[in-house]
Amino acid sequence: MSEQLLLDLGPPSIPTFANFLPGQNTQVLAVLEQIKTEQQSQRFAQPPFVTLWGPAGTGKTHLLKALGGWALSPSGDHELFKGAVHASLVTADDVHAYSDWQQQELFNLYNYARQQGGPIIVASVNQAVTQLILREDLRSRLLWGLTFGLSPLSDEEVIDAVSQHVRARGLSLSPEVVLYVLHRFTRDMGTLMQVIDCIDRYALQHKRHITVALVREMISARSRLS
């Protein structure tokens, strides 16, 4: 196996609820898992509305992708927004960055969903809804249902979660190594496990213990080959 292939992390893992590190966000994770389960069985008398807010890196986009459904974003065109009325579940990511016409379309979608009994709408924004610079009528719609402020993971929470997964795979990494990895890669479990697999292969190839020095060397070698 070539060095380049060994160090290639491959495509990012598909976001799922299983590879989301919840930290203090267990309640929102439980709510979204329930929505996905009940949406598939169509057991809702009235469609729920959920708004997630928090800074970048708190996992909003990960959760929306894990939820699935008809995905709206600031890059979406008119046809994508118009087609949302035919979906049973719509995710609207980064609403704070929507253009004027996108805000109008999303506002109309909320009204349609309330009147027609669907679709479910789960949106994300980068700060508390009351602080957003948006159309006032859309801001009120984002507050129609449940709102959750997502908390970023502390280093201790990520180290603990990653360490549990590592032990389950029969590996042993010091907290220093885990912390070093956390500061250099995306903090979703799928990516972290890819990185750890890569580190493990690199250590086996070079017949060395996993240390911060070895990980630093691996990252440097990968940078030279990329």
Considering the domain architecture, whether residues 32 and 75 belong to the same structural domain is answered as yes
- Which range of residues forms the domain containing residue 185? 153-225
Considering the domain architecture, whether residues 167 and 124 belong to the same structural domain is answered as no
Q: ∠ at Cα 185 (5, 181), nearest 5°? A: 90
Burial code (b: 16+ CB inside 10 Å, e: under 16) for 161-174 equals bbbeebeeeeeebe
Domain boundary among 93, 125, 149: 149
More confident residue, 217 or 41: 217
Whether 2 is in a domain gets the answer: no
Considering the domain architecture, whether residues 103 and 130 belong to the same structural domain is answered as yes
Considering the domain architecture, whether residues 145 and 178 belong to the same structural domain is answered as no
Whether 77 is in a domain gets the answer: yes
Considering the domain architecture, whether residues 134 and 206 belong to the same structural domain is answered as no
Taking the C-alpha atoms of residue 46 and residue 126, their distance in angstroms, rounded to an integer, is 27
Considering the domain architecture, whether residues 119 and 36 belong to the same structural domain is answered as yes
Q: Per-residue pLDDT tens for 180-198?
A: 888 887 766 667 777 888 8
What pLDDT sits at residue 7?
44
What pLDDT sits at residue 4?
44
Sheet with strand 49-53: strands edge to edge: 70-72, 89-92, 120-125, 49-53, 146-149
Whether 162 is in a domain gets the answer: yes
We report the CATH number of the domain holding residue 121 as 3.40.50.300
Taking the C-alpha atoms of residue 188 and residue 14, their distance in angstroms, rounded to an integer, is 10
Q: How many CA atoms lie within 13 A of 210 on its CB side?
A: 21
Whether 13 is in a domain gets the answer: no
Helix (H, G, I), strand (E, B) or coil at 114: helix
Under DSSP, the state recorded for 74 is T
Angle between the N-to-C axes of helices 212-225 and 189-206, in degrees from 0 to 180, rounded to the nearest 10: 100
Structure tokens at 195: 């990185």
Considering the domain architecture, whether residues 117 and 171 belong to the same structural domain is answered as no
Considering the domain architecture, whether residues 142 and 213 belong to the same structural domain is answered as no
Q: Indicate the average pLDDT of the chain.
A: 86
The region of weakest confidence among 17-26, 55-64, 117-126 is: 17-26
Taking the C-alpha atoms of residue 192 and residue 177, their distance in angstroms, rounded to an integer, is 12
Structure tokens at 151: 């908390």
Taking the C-alpha atoms of residue 145 and residue 85, their distance in angstroms, rounded to an integer, is 18
Whether 137 is in a domain gets the answer: yes
Q: How many domains does the chain have?
A: 2
Whether 3 is in a domain gets the answer: no
Whether 159 is in a domain gets the answer: yes
Whether 15 is in a domain gets the answer: no
